[in-house]
Amino acid sequence: MNFIVTSPFYPENFQLFTNRLKKQGFTVLGIGQEPYDQLSANLKSDLTEYYKVNDLENVDEVKKAVAYLYFKHGKIDRIESNNEHWLNLEAEIREQFNIPGNKPSDLKKVKYKSEMKKLFKKAGVPTVPGKIANKKTAVKRLVKELGLPVVAKPNSGVGSSATYKLIDDADVDKFVAEWDEKEPYFFEPYIEDARLLSFDGLIDQEGNIVFETGLYYKEPTLEVIKRQGDFGYCIQKQMPEKLRKYGHAIVEQFGMKERFFHIEFFEDGDDFLAVEYNNRVAGGYTIDMYNFANHIDLFKQYARVVAGLPFEHSDIPNQYCVALSQRDQFTYVHSDADIRSHYGNRFVFSKRMPDGFAELQGNQFYGILADTQEEVEDVFNYIHQRVEQ
């Protein structure tokens, strides 16, 4: 099978995706905008061919690259990056070259937040109510209906990009003044003090969930960005049964196949409110944290799913994996050496965050395993303890 990987170089931790496809027996072809010499020796070895384009955002240029690879290597069986940024591009490529997988018409339900809400309701899952605005004149009316504070986010958008928390009328006026109306915005109530968590996993070729996990954030993302607070989340050892039930209902309703998914919820008392369906694995180093927590290799298992083989589960009991970071502008009580020594073999991951993610996720990222909720709290407290100024 010929498998095109979009942007095989970036992000760095996704380079294993190419490697696992090759090990499964695929002919892996890469399309990216980095010069070939910039690729690591391992990545060069894993790729049968690499086609450099000037700009991956240029759909016509990428289509020419696919046509060339099709002509040289034969039928293209898959194209995928597992990166949300390239979902639209890959859907267009699949449609033009008749490649299995999501086409542009399939993405409406996972691209637009207003459409997601409809499917959450069809699945019988509680959701945060929302309203869409196409013009400035509608904003104040919608905010009045929903009540302050509200969150305003692009109806079609990635993560927390261009998302605002509007607390009072001054915030609303500022938003209205600055919004250029080029993209519709979706407004929903801000759920105060609600824990943000997720139900995540992998779907096989028949639409069945073959792997499931999830995480919860220490603090809401918008609050972390606003205060430049300490970022952290934890891979759960066991999913709440009600959350798991909701997650399965949503996956069935969305009808995706052969894909990772990342569904976000707010914890609301003893219930959960669906917020957003992401048609890919959670971003950043989260897939690495999933691997550590579940003692598994998810890119390897994804390659098996694409090959039509059964998912291989680990025999080792899963653990919590605490993912958290420190920021360069703060002084912490415990240094990198302290952390490594303190946690010993529970210390499993350490990376500098790329500058583009540092505002949200901090600068120095860690992964620490834990067996109990008490140990989880100890990790957060120990690594985030700052020197008093």
* Whether 91 and 215 share a structural domain: no
The tens digit of pLDDT for each residue in 354-376 reads 887 777 788 999 999 999 999 99
Cα separation values, 280 from 14, 97, 145, 207, 364, Å: 13, 22, 33, 14, 25
The helices-and-strands tally (H runs, E runs) of the chain is 15, 17
Q: What is the pLDDT of residue 287?
A: 97
Q: Quick one: pLDDT band at residue 91, thresholds 50, 70, 90?
A: very high
| Neighbouring C-beta atoms of residue 113, cutoff 10 Å | 23
pTM above 0.85, yes or no: yes
Residue 118 covered by a domain: no
Residue 225 has pLDDT above 90, yes or no: no
| Neighbouring C-beta atoms of residue 297, cutoff 10 Å | 16
275 and 114 Cβ atoms separated by less than 8 Å: no
* Whether 253 and 371 share a structural domain: yes
The residue that leads in pLDDT, 165 or 250, is 250
Point out the domain boundary residue: 189, 215, 237: 189
Residue 19 covered by a domain: yes
Query: Distance of alpha carbon 254 from its chain centroid, rounded?
Result: 17
H-only helix segments in the chain: 15-23, 41-46, 59-73, 87-97, 108-111, 113-122, 139-146, 169-178, 221-227, 241-254, 286-294, 298-306, 336-343, 355-361, 373-384
Of the chain, the percentage scoring pLDDT greater than 90 comes to 87
Helices 59-73 and 87-97: crossing angle in degrees, nearest 10, is 50
Point out the domain boundary residue: 189, 221, 237: 189
Structure token pair of residue 240: 């709440």
* Whether 173 and 203 share a structural domain: no
* Whether 238 and 160 share a structural domain: no
The tens digit of pLDDT for each residue in 293-331 reads 999 999 999 999 999 999 999 999 999 999 999 999 999
* Whether 102 and 236 share a structural domain: no
Residue 254 covered by a domain: yes
* Whether 42 and 12 share a structural domain: yes
CA distance 272 to 242: 8
* Whether 202 and 346 share a structural domain: yes
Residues 6+ apart with CB under 8 A from 345: none
CA distance 299 to 84: 16
Q: What is the pLDDT of residue 96?
A: 97
CATH number at residue 14: 3.40.50.20
DSSP-assigned letters across all residues of 317-334:
PP-EEEEEEE-TTS-BSS
* Whether 7 and 54 share a structural domain: yes
CA distance 133 to 154: 10
The tens digit of pLDDT for each residue in 258-307 reads 999 999 999 988 999 999 999 999 988 999 999 999 999 999 999 999 99
| Neighbouring C-beta atoms of residue 193, cutoff 10 Å | 6
Q: What single-letter amino acid sits at 182?
A: K
Counting Cα atoms < 13 Å in the Cβ hemisphere of 216 gives: 17
* Whether 257 and 149 share a structural domain: no
DSSP reduced 3-state for 365: strand
Residue 151 has pLDDT above 80, yes or no: yes
CA-based nearest residue to 3, from 90, 95, 88? 90
| Neighbouring C-beta atoms of residue 325, cutoff 10 Å | 22
Residue 76 covered by a domain: yes
Residue 111 covered by a domain: no
Which domain does 38 fall in, by range? 2-106
